[in-house]
A and B are shown apart, each in its own frame.
Chain A
Amino acid sequence: MGLATLQELFGGPARLVRTVSVVGVLLAVLGAAGPLLFVLYTLVPWAPSTSASPLVMPWSDPRHMQALANSLWVAGGLTLVLTGGSAAIALLFKHLALTGSPFIYALSAIPLLIPDFAFGVAARMVLDPSVGLLGQALPSTLLIDRPSALLAVIMVAALKWLPVMTVVADASLASIPAGQQAQILLDFRSFGRAVRLAYLPYMRGELLLVASLSFLIGFRQHELAMELTAGGAGFVAELWSPWNHRQIFEFARLDQAALEALFVLPLVLGIVLMIKSKAQEMLRDDD
Chain B
Amino acid sequence: MINQARAVIALRRVLVVIGLAGALVACGEGDRNTLSVALFQAPSSDALIELIPEFEEETGVKVEYDVLPYADLKTKVEQQFYARSGTYDVVMADCIWIPSFAERGYLQEVDETAWLPGEYDFEDLLPALDDYLGHYPKGGTRYGMPFMSNTHMMTYRPTMIQAVVDKLGLDLPGETPESTWTWDQYLQVAQAVQEDLSAAGVDAYGSSLQARAGAWLIYEWYSVLFGFVTDDEARATGLPAFDAPAAAAMAYYAQLYDDAAPKGALTWGHEEETAAMCSGRTAMDATSNVELAANLLAEECQTAGPLAFAYPPIGASGKASPDMGGYGLLLSADSDMPDQASAFVLWAASKDVHARVVAGGGSPVRKSEVRNPDVLEQFPYLAMYEQLIEDSIYRARVAFWPELQDVLSRELTAVMKGDKAAAAATAEVRAWLESRAAN
- A129 vs B281: C-alpha distance when bound (angstroms): 13
- A253 vs B404: C-alpha distance when bound (angstroms): 13
Contacts of A49 in B (CB 8 A): 439
Docked complex: A104-145 residues within 8 A CB-CB of B: 128-131, 140-141, 143-144
- A263 vs B8: C-alpha distance when bound (angstroms): 46
A63 interfacial by beta-carbon distance below 8 Å:
yes
Whether B264 lies near A128 (C-beta < 8 A) is: yes
Give chain B's interface residues, CB within 8 Å of chain A: 1, 4, 7-8, 11, 15, 74-75, 78, 82, 100, 104, 211-214, 262-268, 272, 399-400, 402-403, 406, 409-414, 416-417, 436, 439
Contacts of A177 in B (CB 8 A): none
Whether B267 lies near A143 (C-beta < 8 A) is: yes
Can you list 25 A-B contacts with CB-CB less than 8 angstroms, sorted by A residue number? A9-B4, A10-B4, A13-B8, A20-B11, A129-B263, A130-B262, A143-B264, A144-B266, A231-B213, A231-B214, A233-B211, A234-B213, A234-B266, A234-B410, A234-B413, A234-B414, A234-B417, A235-B409, A245-B75, A248-B78, A249-B75, A250-B403, A250-B406, A251-B403, A251-B406
CB-CB under 8 A for A249 and B213, given A141-B263, A233-B267, A234-B414: no
Whether B267 lies near A130 (C-beta < 8 A) is: yes
Contacts of B402 in A (CB 8 A): 250-252
Docked complex: A1-38 residues within 8 A CB-CB of B: 9-11, 13, 16-17, 20
With CB as the reference atom, state the residue of chain B lying closest to A246: B406
Contacts of B417 in A (CB 8 A): 233-234
Count how many pairs of residues, one from A and one from B, have CB atoms less than 8 Å apart in the complex.
Answer: 97
CB-CB under 8 A for A235 and B264, given A13-B4, A13-B8, A49-B439: no
Contacts of A143 in B (CB 8 A): 264, 267
CB-CB under 8 A for A235 and B267, given A13-B7, A13-B11, A17-B7: no
Docked complex: A234-270 residues within 8 A CB-CB of B: 234-236, 245-246, 248-254
Checking B74, B82, B265, B267 against A229 with a beta-carbon cut-off of 8 angstroms, the contacting residue is B267
- A11 vs B5: C-alpha distance when bound (angstroms): 10
Total contacting residues, chain A, CB less than 8 A: 37
B98 to chain A, nearest CB (A): 13
Whether A63 lies near B268 (C-beta < 8 A) is: no
Checking A50, A233, A252 against B213 with a beta-carbon cut-off of 8 angstroms, the contacting residue is A233
A61 to chain B, nearest CB (A): 11
- A129 vs B265: C-alpha distance when bound (angstroms): 10
Give chain A's interface residues, CB within 8 Å of chain B: 9-11, 13, 16-17, 20, 49-52, 63, 128-131, 140-141, 143-144, 229-236, 245-246, 248-254
Contacts of B263 in A (CB 8 A): 129, 140-141, 144
- A176 vs B8: C-alpha distance when bound (angstroms): 44
Whether A250 lies near B439 (C-beta < 8 A) is: no
- A64 vs B214: C-alpha distance when bound (angstroms): 16
With CB as the reference atom, state the residue of chain B lying closest to A223: B71
Checking A10, A129, A246, A248 against B264 with a beta-carbon cut-off of 8 angstroms, the contacting residue is A129
Whether A250 lies near B7 (C-beta < 8 A) is: no
With CB as the reference atom, state the residue of chain B lying closest to A136: B203
B425 to chain A, nearest CB (A): 10
- A230 vs B268: C-alpha distance when bound (angstroms): 9
Extra A-B contacts (10), CB below 8 Å, given A130-B262, A235-B406: A51-B439, A63-B406, A130-B264, A131-B272, A144-B263, A229-B267, A232-B267, A234-B412, A248-B78, A252-B100
With CB as the reference atom, state the residue of chain B lying closest to A140: B263
- A11 vs B212: C-alpha distance when bound (angstroms): 67
Max count, chain B CB within 10 A of own CB: residue among A10, A143, A232, A250: A250
Contacts of A52 in B (CB 8 A): 439
Whether A230 lies near B213 (C-beta < 8 A) is: yes
A101 to chain B, nearest CB (A): 39
Contacts of A253 in B (CB 8 A): 403
Whether A230 lies near B267 (C-beta < 8 A) is: yes
CB-CB under 8 A for A144 and B264, given A10-B7, A10-B8: yes
With CB as the reference atom, state the residue of chain A lying closest to B262: A130
